[in-house]
Amino acid sequence: MQQYLKSLTLLLYLALAPLFGPVAIAATPKPEAPTTVAGARDIVQEIINVIGLKPRFELQPADIDNAAAVVYNGERYILYNERFLDAINNAVHTDWGGVSILAHEIGHHLNGHTLSRSGSNPEDELEADEFSGFVLRKMGASKAEAQAAIELLSEEETSRTHPGKRYRLAAISKGWQTANDQLLASAKGPQPDNRGIVSQNRPAQQRPAAATQRVALDSRSVLTRVNFNKAPQEQFYLTTRYNLVHMTEDGVQVIGRLAKTNNPDYPYYFESDFLDTIFVTDEGYLVNKRGQRVGHLS
Ligand SMILES: [Zn+2]
């Protein structure tokens, strides 16, 4: 797969204009720097954690100049050049440079830019920049740190594919500020408007992160209580409409649904995005995939 990808990257790279102009990687040779791959993976996970979405793309080291968000065969990839990230991190004397570039590329995926076949354009670039500023603030970067890579690498003038430096710095600043306002507001109390940058824009390809649903629950609609051994304090109920609900401080949340199996020993299971598969026996025991009892109905 990797070999296959490598042979594809040139093509993809030509199809999608690069994030930055050519970067003189050779000018910053570095002896062995084995931390980058693991570092890049950790960074992507951190970025994902900030926005609360499941990663729906793969991270692949590739023979490209810097980094790119691509779709191939319906799969999403973030391609990155290991030495590029390393060189960036070196050049700006902080890890934030590489982080911001990965965040920018992830921003392309999450904003749906990679769905179009037209390649880079200034509007998309600014959205991805804004996203990177937002993410980096949430991760703890200063505004200057969030802007460091673009400050170093962006062209001054706007081109057909990329905005000029000052626009890009302004977009990063805007995202950074949005995150900063959110953090300040949540430190003070409830935050009425916590829309992230991701959700402001094209919602086309974004799956809701956690499709919880508020419902009212009164005793008449409760069929039984659901007890999970691992969470004895938590209140879960099965409703008369076979929804599995969780009582939280925010109210009742539907987290799954009781569905039928074809297995007479385990005739039901909870269909849920939040739980590993849990079967329900006729006797009312909850059983995991390994056949261990993990709770009961009461
Ligand atoms: Zn870009």
Specify the pLDDT at position 189: 55
DSSP characters over 249-270? TTEEEEEEEEEE-S-TTS-EEE
Local confidence band at 202 (pLDDT 50, 70, 90 cut-offs): very low
More confident residue, 204 or 282: 282
Judge whether residue 28 has pLDDT over 60. no
Local confidence band at 98 (pLDDT 50, 70, 90 cut-offs): confident
Distance 155 CA to ligand 1 centre (A): 13
Q: What is the mean pLDDT of residues 70-88?
A: 84
More confident residue, 130 or 77: 130
Distance 52 CA to ligand 1 centre (A): 22
Distance 90 CA to ligand 1 centre (A): 21
Specify the pLDDT at position 76: 87
Distance 129 CA to ligand 1 centre (A): 8
Residues 266 and 281 sit within 8 Å (Cβ to Cβ): yes
Q: Which of 17-21, 169-173, 189-193, 229-233 has the highest mean pLDDT?
A: 169-173
Distance 33 CA to ligand 1 centre (A): 26
Distance 95 CA to ligand 1 centre (A): 19
Rounded Cα distance between 66 and 33, Å, is 17
DSSP characters over 70-135? EEETTEEEEEE-HHHHHHHHHHTTSTHHHHHHHHHHHHHHHTTGGGSSS---HHHHHHHHHHHHHH
Specify the pLDDT at position 169: 97
Rounded Cα distance between 72 and 85, Å, is 23
Specify the pLDDT at position 39: 59
Distance 243 CA to ligand 1 centre (A): 43
Distance 119 CA to ligand 1 centre (A): 9
Distance 180 CA to ligand 1 centre (A): 23
More confident residue, 74 or 195: 74
Rounded Cα distance between 204 and 115, Å, is 10
More confident residue, 271 or 27: 271
Distance 68 CA to ligand 1 centre (A): 7
Distance 231 CA to ligand 1 centre (A): 44
Distance 4 CA to ligand 1 centre (A): 23
Distance 214 CA to ligand 1 centre (A): 37
Quote the pTM value.
0.50
Distance 107 CA to ligand 1 centre (A): 8
Specify the pLDDT at position 48: 77
Distance 114 CA to ligand 1 centre (A): 10
Extract the tokens encoding 256.
Answer: 């799954």
Residues contacting 231, CB < 8 A, separation 6+: none
Query: Which bin fits 159, alpha (ψ -120 to 50), beta or left (φ > 0)?
Result: beta
Distance 104 CA to ligand 1 centre (A): 6
Radius of gyration of the chain (CA): 23
Q: What is the mean pLDDT of residues 32-40?
A: 45
More confident residue, 158 or 298: 158
Q: What is the mean pLDDT of residues 221-245?
A: 80
Mean of per-residue pLDDT scores for the chain: 73
What are the residue ranges spanned by the domains of the chain? 2-200, 214-297
Judge whether residue 94 has pLDDT over 60. yes
Distance 27 CA to ligand 1 centre (A): 23
Q: What is the mean pLDDT of residues 230-254?
A: 77
Distance 216 CA to ligand 1 centre (A): 44
- The tens digit of pLDDT for each residue in 109-161 reads 888 888 776 778 899 999 999 999 999 999 889 999 999 999 998 999 999 88
More confident residue, 10 or 279: 279
| Cβ neighbours around 185 below 10 Å, total | 14
Strands 58-61 and 67-72, bridge-based pairing: unpaired
Judge whether residue 287 has pLDDT over 60. yes
Angle at 176 between CA 111 and CA 59, to 5 degrees: 45
Task: Give bridge partners of residue 278 from the DSSP assignment.
Answer: 270, 288
Quick one: DSSP state of residue 221?
G
Residue 54's alpha-carbon distances to 3, 17, 145, 174, 208, in angstroms, are: 26, 27, 26, 25, 10
Rounded Cα distance between 101 and 71, Å, is 18
Judge whether residue 204 has pLDDT over 50. no
Distance 19 CA to ligand 1 centre (A): 4
More confident residue, 282 or 201: 282
Specify the pLDDT at position 6: 40
